[in-house]
Amino acid sequence: DAGITQSPRYKITETGRQVTLMCHQTWSHSYMFWYRQDLGHGLRLIYYSAAADITDKGEVPDGYVVSRSKTENFPLTLESATRSQTSVYFCASGAGGTLSTDTQYFGPGTRLTVL
Amino acid sequence: GNSVTQMEGPVTLSEEAFLTINCTYTATGYPSLFWYVQYPGEGLQLLLKATKADDKGSNKGFEATYRKETTSFHLEKGSVQVSDSAVYFCALSVMNRDDKIIFGKGTRLHILP
């Protein structure tokens, strides 16, 4: 399917477990982003990537790991999940270039609950 | 630093009412400004954008004008519909070494039939 997809859409896990959230885009966009959305905080950037094998920290990177071996995939891993990581996670992509005028395209989100 | 402040919600209006959602920003350099919309159960999608002062972005009956003198980018619509019920995010991006979009906290809009 064309566009940007996330899997799973819903995930329940336990404290201390490792969890990987998947993100796949079919546009060959250079940039990809991971955000978390929490009530009262809006949208906060976790990590982003300007191209394959290039990643950088966002506003709230602690407890998360990303990789980008292929342009189209940008998985987010919670190495040891904590209750504070219960959130809705959104992946986004953008064509890049002059990023300041670029549009980001968002996936449908993954709702993660850590018990 | 760069930041976006938008009015807190929720905002509740009747159908066909006039809508304004306020957004002001602080930025170093020359930002591009955006409004994104999030419908229930979905991710964000771009509603409109403006890349320089005095530009007006428009889409689906919504408009916002980039006002550099007041550092504002208020969202307006002349006659809202029930289908406009969503969360609206004001955002900015300033081209620098860390090219990122800074989002406001979002304003939830409820339109009553």
Q: CA-to-CA distance for A38 and A87, rounded, in angstroms? A: 6
How far apart are the CA of A67 and the nearest CA of chain B, in angstroms? 18
Interval A49-70: pLDDT, tens? 988 999 999 989 999 999 999 9
Interval B9-32: pLDDT, tens? 899 999 999 999 999 999 888 888
Q: CA-to-CA distance for B72 and B54, rounded, in angstroms? A: 11
The separation between the first and the last C-alpha atoms of chain B, rounded to the nearest angstrom, is 41
Q: For A32, which residue in chain B has the nearest alpha carbon?
A: B100
Q: For B47, which residue in chain A has the nearest alpha carbon?
A: A103
- Which residue of B89, B93, B104 is in closest CB contact with A99? B93
Asked if residue A1 has pLDDT above 70, the reply is no
Beta bridge mates, B14: B112
Residue A36, pLDDT score: 96
Q: CA-to-CA distance for B68 and B52, rounded, in angstroms? A: 9
Q: CA-to-CA distance for B72 and A70, rounded, in angstroms? A: 39
Interval B58-111: pLDDT, tens? 999 999 999 999 999 999 999 999 999 999 999 998 765 455 788 999 999 999
Q: What separation in angstroms does the CA of A47 have from each of A50, A59, B16, B56?
A: 10, 8, 40, 31
Answer whether A104 sits within 8 Å of B46, measured CB to CB: yes
Asked if A99 is an interface residue toward chain B (Cβ–Cβ < 8 A), one would say yes
Percent of chain A at pLDDT above 70?
Answer: 93
How far apart are the CA of A89 and the nearest CA of chain B, in angstroms? 10
Residues contacting A115, CB < 8 A, separation 6+? A12, A13, A14, A15, A83
